[in-house]
Structure 1
Amino acid sequence: MTDLTKLTLAAARKGLKAKEFTSLELTEAYLKAIDEANPKLNAYVAVTADQARQMAVASDEKLAKGQGGPLEGLPLGIKDLFGTKGVHTQAASHILDSFKPEYESTVTSNLWRDGAVMLGKLNMDEFAMGSSNETSYYGPVISPWRAEGSNLDLVPGGSSGGSAAAVAAWLCAGATATDTGGSIRQPAAFTGTVGIKPTYGRCSRWGVVAFASSLDQAGPIARTVEDNALMLQSMAGFDPKDSTSVEMAVPDFAAAVERGVKGLVIGVPREYRMDGMPAEIEKLWQQGLEWLKAEGATVRDISLPNTKYALPAYYIVAPAEASSNLARYDGVKYGLRETGKDITDLYELSRAAGFGREVKRRVMIGTYVLSAGYYDAYYVQAQKVRTLIKRDFELAFQAGVDAILTPATPSAAFGIGDEDMKADPVKMYLNDVFTVTVNMAGLPGIAVPAGKDGKGLPLGLQLIGKPFDEETLFAAARVIERSAAMDFSPKRWW
């Protein structure tokens, strides 16, 4: 029998329905793979082996009767940001030490409703703040990828680095992730996987630990465009418990995958041609456009003039919302509690011990820009810029553009502990230069692997779509995936 963990989610689903293997066999194969790989990759912070086996047995009973949901019996990894009832949920932070919620997030509830099996909770940057998965209280995730001829450990991207690494290293059939400024698309690009940030409001945020409430959106990371569409189908949907959730039907995303791009207009924003962009990124971008043209799409140059302000505006809005959201972690009701001489001392000591350096940095920035005398100068101005960024995209779409193609990241994955990145946080923030505009405008964006750099590391392209038009993104991403026709499996070293 083929190594069950190497099957795509779609192939595993087919095999389960054809009774070629059972969900328990599939689950055991993944649990064995996790046991072998996790000590080296650190992708999982908690493995729920017993629960996974119970869920798999229940799925097998349904499948034996010819019943079961769209994801029946398929083992998934869950980012540590999603509330899972009675199971470790800490946003990879010490401040939420030992926290196990009494509720289930809407997204994970939807997955369990459709028959998915939970393998465990995946590592991430603390409170989703990071682009390399090095800020986790549980230590960095190691990418399953290595440059040719090198033993250097690489980052898997962030904040959903555990999700991307687990999918790329065959430690789950697919994974949930979240994206506030690129946290699905950047790690997907770094690991040769497919990640979509859906339109803001497509997936419920209820039960997901908040970072920046007006930017956060849940989405899947999977091995193929089809797998991604199958997962989003189950994750999405209206939720009355989330006031930002949009009440509209979820389309058949999987059916849209093979729709093709004939007749579509693909926009190419001139502002994304950054100074100093590596030649291999520029070449890949051009190649992606050629592939789309060959399948019947028209390419058009467009202008998104406010792009240059996106990164600074994002790094005002996101920390401001974070400083407000993280005020609830004080050591009183749950999580880490340090002993203090009075209540103020307890707050200060608990937060000092519980939050990591990057979280403290962002909370301080956010508190500063919201403080009296600076609110109008920074936060209000950033929100005005955000409106202009959104307007840029609206004008492009009104002019007949169906989707926009850009690079996903400014480079391939870099090394863990990279001195340049450690010395200058702004260099780390620049990893989000191509992705933050999508969050600021609330649009859907997908990263799809399209090529490799000179060292054999994966590179991704990003497609940006109209609000709630994820179907076009899946169709266009499938064209790129099929045209690239490359194996994006890392060579096993772990």
Structure 2
Amino acid sequence: MTDLTRLGAAELAEKIHAREVSSVEVTQAHLDRIGAVDGTVNAFLHVAHESALSAAQAVDDALGAGDAPASALAGVPLGLKDILVTTDMPTTAASKILEGWVAPYDATLVTKLRAAGIPILGKTNMDEFAMGSSTENSAYGPTRNPWDTDRIPGGSGGGSAAALAAFEAPLSIGTDTGGSIRQPAACTSTVGVKPTYGTISRYGIIAAASSLDQAGPCARSVLDTALLHEVIAGYDPRDSTSIDTPVRPMVAAARAGATGDLKGVRVGIVKELYSDSYNSGVRGSFDAAVAQLTALGAEVVEVSCPSFEHAVAAYYLVMPSEVSSNLARFDSMRYGLRVKDDGNHSAQQVMMASRAAGFGDEVKRRIMIGTYALSAGYYDEYYGQALKVRALIAQDFAKAYEQADVLVSPTSPVTPWKLGEKLDDPLAMYLSDMCTLPTNLAGHCAISVPSGLSAEDGLPVGLQIMAPALADERLYRVGAAYEAARGELPTAAL
């Protein structure tokens, strides 16, 4: 009998809709897989057995009654990053300060998933409040990489990516503030997309940095990711940053790209995102990927984006500044953890004690950096300067896209490192996102597609493809063409 957990989302949907297999069977198979391996991987913080099977049964009942599928992915289960609020399971953002909290409403993205008939398997692990590059900052223990359980799966959305690589889910949702979808995708040999800012609702996503956060789809193939992207995209009047524009034809672009023809497509290699200091296996994989794109008929050119060299510095002023503002709401007064609530302490003392106990070290670090950057006397020197760099990065992108339709780089300059290896070196951790940060600062879109295993250490490597705002379909055309030409890759042995 076919192992249902090894099938992709598109194939599962086809079988479910043809009633060759039930959504309940597919969902139960993935719940069983979670039960078998998640004690090792720790990809899930909460597993929603009953509600997932109930949603699956509803899909089967509708199909049995002759109704058309609610969406192209109806019946295919999914893992949801634990930063999107849900009414039927806890939302903790992997923080002790929200332990056990259940929201009074669903995020818009969750509402779309439910309407599309997609069972939610549970909430996936992450770096606390989406701050980190390794999923080691979770208050509930690190997620382990299914390729090597002594190594990190990337972050902040390591749980969403690891669930895919471990075959615990065929689809997942992540959020990407500075690379939190793409870098885990690269670390786990999965596919992850950071959509154009404003094209997927942020309503109901616990905010870290509001001008950077963006939810996006994750899967094991470009087509599966495109199918999920079209389900969750669209204008939302409840999100003031939402763009009222038609959903791009991502699925059609992925299917067209899979034919393998990139003639007429201009691909730009970003000089500043390619360095001799990178892991040699990453460089070799990237060079091979560029050669493959050339063989498919793409015109490859080199472009320069000088301001990208300052992206890490700018990001780690803009992002913490917004964190400092957004996390002020966790004051222990309305919801969440409350310490020293015995009637003998002032509100200020309760607040201070609760935040000290509830926030982890990385969250505290970024709150302090952001508060300092926004303080009187330093605002213009730090935050103001960072905003100027952000504008220059957008200008560099605009010039680059005059020469190329898409830009490419390694997704991460390094392969997954060992758990604990960089916990005492925050700067080294921050530098792992150097290739992904510019896209977030500009509000553009990007995808990470597996590009094989590093010849240096045998660990997964990702190819990043970037496109201008509201040109997300370009990612899928080029990504699917490369994926088809690259061929099948090994999977994690877990």
User: Structures share a fold, TM > 0.5?
Assistant: yes
Q: 1:456, CA displacement in angstroms?
A: 2.1
Match of 1:342 in 2: 346
Match of 2:381 in 1: 377
Please tell me whether the aligned partners of residues 458 and 488 of structure 1 are also in contact (alpha carbons under 8 angstroms): no
Please tell me whether the aligned partners of residues 60 and 75 of structure 2 are also in contact (alpha carbons under 8 angstroms): yes
Please tell me whether the aligned partners of residues 449 and 461 of structure 1 are also in contact (alpha carbons under 8 angstroms): yes
Please tell me whether the aligned partners of residues 17 and 69 of structure 2 are also in contact (alpha carbons under 8 angstroms): no
Match of 2:404 in 1: 401
Quote the Cα distance in structure 2 between the aligned partners of 1:222 and 1:488: 16
> Is 1:100 the counterpart of 2:97 in the alignment?
no
Match of 1:358 in 2: 362
Match of 1:54 in 2: 54
What amino acid sits opposite 2:207 in the alignment? A
Question: Of 457, 463, 470, which residue of structure 2 is paired with 1:468?
Answer: 470
Alignment of 1:420-431 (within 5 A): 421-431=422-432
Q: Which moved more, 1:176-185 or 1:35-44?
A: 35-44
Match of 1:444 in 2: 445
Match of 1:131 in 2: 133
What amino acid sits opposite 1:266 in the alignment? V
Q: Which moved more, 1:257-266 or 1:425-434?
A: 257-266
What amino acid sits opposite 1:190 in the alignment? C
Alignment of 1:43-442 (within 5 A): 43-64=43-64, 65-70=66-71, 71-146=73-148, 153-260=150-257, 261-339=262-340, 341-397=345-401, 399-418=402-421, 421-442=422-443
Match of 1:491 in 2: 493
Q: 1:298, CA displacement in angstroms?
A: 0.3
Q: 1:284, CA displacement in angstroms?
A: 1.7
Please tell me whether the aligned partners of residues 274 and 410 of structure 2 are also in contact (alpha carbons under 8 angstroms): no
Counterpart of 1:258 in 2: which secondary structure? helix
Counterpart of 2:351 in 1: which secondary structure? helix
Q: 1:251, CA displacement in angstroms?
A: 2.3
Quote the Cα distance in structure 1 between the aligned partners of 2:439 and 2:283: 20
Unaligned segments of structure 2, at least 5 residues: none
Instruction: After superposition, give the CA deviation of every residue in 1:191-221 in whole Å (9 maximum; x if it has no partner).
Output: 0000000000110000000000000000011
Q: CA RMSD in A?
A: 1.0
Quote the Cα distance in structure 2 between the aligned partners of 1:252 and 1:471: 6
What amino acid sits opposite 2:367 in the alignment? V
Quote the Cα distance in structure 2 between the aligned partners of 1:86 and 1:51: 8
Identity of aligned residues (%): 45
Q: How many residues align?
A: 484
What amino acid sits opposite 1:48 in the alignment? A
Please tell me whether the aligned partners of residues 184 and 195 of structure 1 are also in contact (alpha carbons under 8 angstroms): yes
Please tell me whether the aligned partners of residues 192 and 488 of structure 1 are also in contact (alpha carbons under 8 angstroms): no
Q: TM-score, normalised by structure 1?
A: 0.96
Counterpart of 2:423 in 1: which secondary structure? helix
Quote the Cα distance in structure 2 between the aligned partners of 1:208 and 1:324: 15
Counterpart of 1:486 in 2: which secondary structure? coil
Please tell me whether the aligned partners of residues 266 and 298 of structure 1 are also in contact (alpha carbons under 8 angstroms): yes
Quote the Cα distance in structure 1 between the aligned partners of 2:39 and 2:273: 39
Counterpart of 1:463 in 2: which secondary structure? strand
What amino acid sits opposite 2:404 in the alignment? V
Q: 1:292, CA displacement in angstroms?
A: 1.2
Please tell me whether the aligned partners of residues 129 and 359 of structure 1 are also in contact (alpha carbons under 8 angstroms): yes
What amino acid sits opposite 1:407 in the alignment? P
Q: 1:275, CA displacement in angstroms?
A: 4.3
Please tell me whether the aligned partners of residues 189 and 461 of structure 2 are also in contact (alpha carbons under 8 angstroms): yes
Q: 1:423, CA displacement in angstroms?
A: 2.4
What amino acid sits opposite 2:39 in the alignment? P
Quote the Cα distance in structure 2 between the aligned partners of 1:235 and 1:428: 30
Please tell me whether the aligned partners of residues 451 and 486 of structure 1 are also in contact (alpha carbons under 8 angstroms): no
Quote the Cα distance in structure 1 between the aligned partners of 2:120 and 2:276: 44
Please tell me whether the aligned partners of residues 279 and 415 of structure 2 are also in contact (alpha carbons under 8 angstroms): no
Q: 1:465, CA displacement in angstroms?
A: 0.2
Q: 1:411, CA displacement in angstroms?
A: 1.3
Counterpart of 2:38 in 1: which secondary structure? helix
What amino acid sits opposite 1:412 in the alignment? T
Q: 1:278, CA displacement in angstroms?
A: 2.5
> Is 1:17 the counterpart of 2:17 in the alignment?
yes
Q: Which moved more, 1:84-93 or 1:284-293?
A: 284-293
Q: 1:19, CA displacement in angstroms?
A: 1.1
Runs of 4+ in 1 over 4 A off after TM superposition: none
Quote the Cα distance in structure 2 between the aligned partners of 1:344 and 1:320: 22
Instruction: After superposition, give the CA deviation of every residue in 1:349-387 in whole Å (9 maximum; x if it has no partner).
Output: 010000001000000000000000110100000000000
Residues 197/488 of structure 1: CA separation in 2 closer, same or farther (3 Å cut): farther
Instruction: After superposition, give the CA deviation of every residue in 1:174-194 in whole Å (9 maximum; x if it has no partner).
Output: 000000000000000000000
What amino acid sits opposite 1:35 in the alignment? G
Q: 1:487, CA displacement in angstroms?
A: 2.0
Quote the Cα distance in structure 2 between the aligned partners of 1:400 and 1:83: 41
Q: 1:269, CA displacement in angstroms?
A: 1.3
Quote the Cα distance in structure 1 between the aligned partners of 2:69 and 2:485: 34
Residues 275/294 of structure 1: CA separation in 2 closer, same or farther (3 Å cut): closer
Q: Which moved more, 1:272-281 or 1:43-52?
A: 272-281
Quote the Cα distance in structure 2 between the aligned partners of 1:75 and 1:254: 19
Counterpart of 1:92 in 2: which secondary structure? coil
Counterpart of 2:143 in 1: which secondary structure? coil
Quote the Cα distance in structure 2 between the aligned partners of 1:299 and 1:435: 20
Quote the Cα distance in structure 2 between the aligned partners of 1:395 and 1:224: 31
Quote the Cα distance in structure 1 between the aligned partners of 2:115 and 2:437: 32
Q: 1:86, CA displacement in angstroms?
A: 3.0
Instruction: After superposition, give the CA deviation of every residue in 1:276-334 in whole Å (9 maximum; x if it has no partner).
Output: 12222222222111111111110111110101100000000000000100000011111
Q: TM-score, normalised by structure 2?
A: 0.96
